Structure 1
Amino acid sequence: MRPARHLSERRLRPSDAGPPVSVTRSCAPRPCQEVPDLNPAPLADTLGSMVDMLPLPHWTALASLNDDAVPLMSTALLIARDEYPQLDAELYDTLVQSHVEHLRREVDAIDLWPLKMAAVNRYLFDELGYSGNHDEYYDPRNSYLNQVFERRLGNPISLAMVQIEVARRLGIPLAGVSFPGHFLVRLPVDDGVLVMDPFNGGRPLGVDELRERARPHLGGEIPDDRALAQILDPAPHRAILIRILRNLHGVYADAEHWDRAARSADRILKLVPDQPEALRDRGMAYLHLGHRNGARHDLSRYLVLNPGAQDAAHLHEHLVELNSQRARAH
């Protein structure tokens, strides 16, 4: 499948796609910075279990769901509730529905998906003022959906979630794209896909710009049609939520907020038990927090699952020291 004709003359169809392309999904290196005081609940209370407040799902139920059966907006709000325990999910559901009702008559009168989506983007980005937080990109509030609704500021993936939720309630089949670097959204059209950048007002992106954006994350190689089609595949809900949590982990680890870093990795493991990188990340956070048993368990499990990891020797050194400390304690 390819970007829409007015964005490119070249076809990119799913049937042309070859084997999955290995894509580095991390953003540019983050500057170490202070994380704002978000007035959270005591983390000892929030790390292990959450109170049940409908309509949010429960963490223990999510691992068994198929990828797209994981509810996107409500799970993103569940992530936010870790930091904002008094979060009222119904308030934000009502807010989204108010956006939808404001748009419904206009959107229903339009026939073409791209024009429907243009109306949604005008309302969200031009009238309501949702925008990318270019000045404080690594502020963790950009990843908490409640804060995105309240501040109308976010990062690419959180703004994409606002777009997706509003669009889908209007019957527009918008989907996320786990593009390397910055998250994007895609809309199927008759002759391909329309790819848009939620961080920059929903601006449509042409195929040449997409290739150039992908290039630094592919070892300097410009992706061919098949590789680009693979990169532009719709992102499953679970993958979107994991990317949010990885963003949070990166921000908190860089700021050495190890309790929150551990929590973010723990939530990934609620979505995908035994996910190797999350085990490593939680284990290292536990190590910094002095939780030696937890660190030993997670790092050992990571090496069992990923024995050829590039960081294996470094982690073995930590395990030797942890085992030595345990022996001395006995």
Structure 2
Amino acid sequence: MREAAFAKQNKDKWLKFENVLRNNIQVSPDELSSLYVEITDHLSYAQTFYPGSNTLRYLNGLSVLAHQKIYKNKRESRSRFITFYTQEFPLFFSKYHRQLLISFLTFALFALVGAFSAATDGNFVRLILGDGYVNMTLENIEKGDPMAVYKQIGEMNMFLGITINNIRVALLAFSFGVFFSLGTLFILMRNAIMIGSFQYFFYDQGMLWESARTIWIHGTIEISVIIVAGAAGLVFGNGILFPGTYSRMQSFVRGAKDGLKILISTIPFFIIAGFLEGFVTRHTEMPDWLAILIIGGSLFLILYYYVIYPIKLKKKHERIHTI
């Protein structure tokens, strides 16, 4: 729907709501609640389809005014957390799929670079992973337990340590976006080269399947949300590079807020990945079918939440507002 048609279709509701707020007109709680829900719904729609428009700025101002008036002394609903993850964020994220694709392609490219470098330079793996890790893994392979590294510390300690470290990497990927997105690309490149060389190392030792079925139990979600965090950093950086109709400072703040929202979405997934690495990956004796089931389920979860579901929500909102 064109912006003008969208505004014409809904302006009476907007003006009525604004009049109620500015003039303290008494209306029934149900009517007030209904108007507020519609306004926030329209705001989400405008954020997706009319970024940078006058309509978006007007609705955003109206929403802020409503929040100040209605919720000034009211505790945020407990369902807000659920709504953010099930409705607000997926619809919001649908407009940033291009950044997600760039982040993914960057990671995939440099993972291949890492594998190629490891294949052509015998010392490259040691340079990237360190002599200590390589020597330890070679010893584990000789002992018949190549994935023993995942069994060296207790489940809870590994879970907490890995989760905190992964969130730290995601924060770096996001915050380095301030360097005009190049910092984010560097973080993605560094981690991708590490993954590529790591997998080639096991391939070279004849352990590709054994390593893949083990590390991707947790790595599917872990690496995927690092890529999502990379998209957050690109959103942040692009806010500085491409202000559009905003001032550069406004665009900077907007990019930072949007990127941070994307980053926040990854936290539950990092917790899941940390749990899998701490409590599940260590069971290298599990049958292949179970490992494949976990990896496949993890991949579907990520693809559905960050790609398929946002597209479905966007199309649903388009249909609703076209009627």
Q: Same fold (TM over 0.5)?
A: no
TM range (shorter): under 0.3
More helix by share: 2
What TM-score results when the alignment is normalised by the length of structure 1?
Answer: 0.22
Structure exhibiting the larger radius of gyration computed from Cα positions: 2
More strand by share: 1
